[in-house]
Structure 1
């Protein structure tokens, strides 16, 4: 891993977890101190984050964390539905035994971490939540891994990254997700794909993503209380 890769991972994590909130200016001097890196690797990392749409560059103001909005959130979710329903159908068509095993094992890993967090008698740490998110990402990647299209996989990865910072506050506040049984949703998805039920799996992934969008919309002002002020500014 290069220093630029390391900076990219650290800054991306801080954006996703809200340490660097939407609209936050990303001044080079402050970044050098925070991440212990020089101008070149930081610039390379910020350019990559700009390609991921997590960072904006304004010629007069420099880099800043990209803003968020309900409109963008729904655009990303609806596009994810288009990409992932197609990819999951193709994975069911082309997937072999190894693919099924990966789906089941990634579901098990996700369920274990989810259970650990549910049993906590204290708020989960960012590190614990990031571990859950890593396993969640691995599960969703496993579902579509055998679609045999690098374009679909690339688009799916970019869109997943876009939704992470919207979803992270839900992961840290279990009260916001109390009406959902996410383990059941994930288990039904895994069962559908390993049963080779393409229509069922496509319907389940669409419903899963729509429920996430609805949860976020219903709690948007609670999760991002400063966003209207940022948009106005």
Structure 2
């Protein structure tokens, strides 16, 4: 199962073309977010046709959609490339995620009911089980770990009442996740404790506490990613 962070709404009876386009979009997006396609890599249509079993017209549509999400770049006649990465962009994406997620938590904490609380607790339970495996140095399921991480953070904001806010947050979360996958960092007990604190703050409806923990949580992830210093960083301007 992919960590697909923004789910597209289809018509009740989607056409075959729509279904194929969505499938290819999800697969290509996943490969970029999880760094199966590396930053700066040229995306050649013939190779993509074979990899995703898709027509050139479908691929062009998908590639342009991903350009709008800033996961792919295009430059004149040079074609399409996986978007590059830089220290500056990581910091910008992290700050934007903090801004969006903090606002969404405020709205969600105010509106959430008992059912929402149950969703938060259940999402944290699944994440914690995966974190226990990571703490035991079992790194074989990194995609499942990040899927549960996503589901927990989504649960925290799921009662915010704004589909637009969650969609924008989802795209930013994906772009932040790509940097984490590039560095493949797990901050161990510190991150585990911060997730526990976020769950408790949600149950207590303590927005101020949750936002303070979230900032430390994301800033810590940025510091770890920067310290890993993968070789694909673009120079900062």
Structure 2 SS opposite 1:107: helix
SS in 2 for 1:72: helix
Does residue 41 of structure 1 match 2:58? yes
SS across alignment from 1:18: coil
1:155-166 aligned within 5 A? 155-166=168-179
Structure 2 residue 133 is the aligned partner of structure 1 residue 133: no
Aligned to 1:113: 130
Q: Under a length normalisation based on structure 1, what TM-score does the superposition of the two structures give?
A: 0.87
The CA distance in 2 between the partners of 1:136 and 1:62, in whole Å, is: 34
* Runs of 4+ residues deviating >3 angstroms: 117-121
Which of the numbers 44, 54, 64 marks the counterpart of 1:27?
A: 44
The match for 2:104 among 87, 101, 105 is 87
Structure 1's unaligned 5+ residue stretches are: none
CA shift for structure 1 position 170: 4.3
Aligned residues: 219
Pair 1:227-2:233 in alignment: yes
Of residues 24, 37, 53 in structure 1, which corresponds to 2:70?
A: 53
**Structure 2 contact 85–232 (Cα < 8 Å) conserved:** no
Tell me if structure 2 keeps the 8 A contact 1:52–1:161.
no
What is the CA–CA distance in structure 1 between the aligned matches of 2:77 and 2:183, rounded to whole Å? 34
Taking the aligned partners of 1:150 and 1:17, their CA distance within structure 2 comes to 25
CA separation in 1, counterparts of 2:177 and 2:114?
A: 30
Superposition CA RMSD, Å: 1.9
Structure 2, unaligned runs of 5 or more = 1-17
Which of 154, 159, 170 aligns to 1:146? It is 159
Q: Deviations over 1:26-79 (max 9, x none)?
A: 010110111221112222221221122110121211111001101111011111
The alpha-carbon deviation at position 216 of structure 1 amounts to 1.4
CA distance in 1, matches of 2:62, 2:135: 35
Paired position in structure 2 for 1:76: 93
**Equivalent residue for 1:66?**
83
Structure (1/2) with the larger helix percentage: 1
